[in-house]
Structures are given as C-alpha cells and as structure tokens.
Amino acid sequence: MIATNYSSLREHMKDYFDQVTDESETLVVTRKNNNNVVILSQDTYNNLLENIHLFGDKTNYEWLVESKAQLEAGHASEHELLQ
C-alpha cells in the first residue's frame, strides 16, 4: 500500500498510477480530516467485487471452503471437456 498527499499525487500522478496498475498497489490519498481516498486498478476492483459476491452468500462460502478442502485432500479427478 502506498500513501501520499494530494499535492504529491498531482505532481507524480503518472508514476503513482503506473504503480497501481503495473504492480497491483493500492494508493491512499491522504486528505484533511481523514477524508482519505483509495485508488485501485480496475482489475483489483473487479476482483474485489467478485470476492464480495462469492463470499457474500453463506451457503456459497461454505460450498467453496468444502470444495477447497476436498481438492487439498486429493479428492479431485480430471475429465476431458465435452465439445
């Protein structure tokens, strides 16, 4: 995570945005009265929304955890894809 103030962001915007997109960094722009702003790449944002969706439903979350446990325990099999 990178933190900077508004003035520094204005002076070095391209560099900060390159770090956010190229290095998957999160950028916090500090402002007065703790009214800070967080900047994420679109890929990171989309991933966050997908995780909220997947883990937001308790039943789906439990199914994912159980599936992961089965995979880690070696209870997986390979199948050819149907056309």
Q: What is the mean pLDDT of the chain?
A: 94
Q: What is the pLDDT of residues 56-70, one digit of tens each?
A: 889 999 999 999 999
Whole-angstrom Cα distance, residue 51 to residue 10?
32
Collapsing DSSP to helix, strand or coil, 29 comes out as: strand
Report residue 54's pLDDT band, with 50, 70 and 90 as the boundaries: confident
Structure confidence at residue 40 (pLDDT): 98
pTM above 0.85, yes or no: no
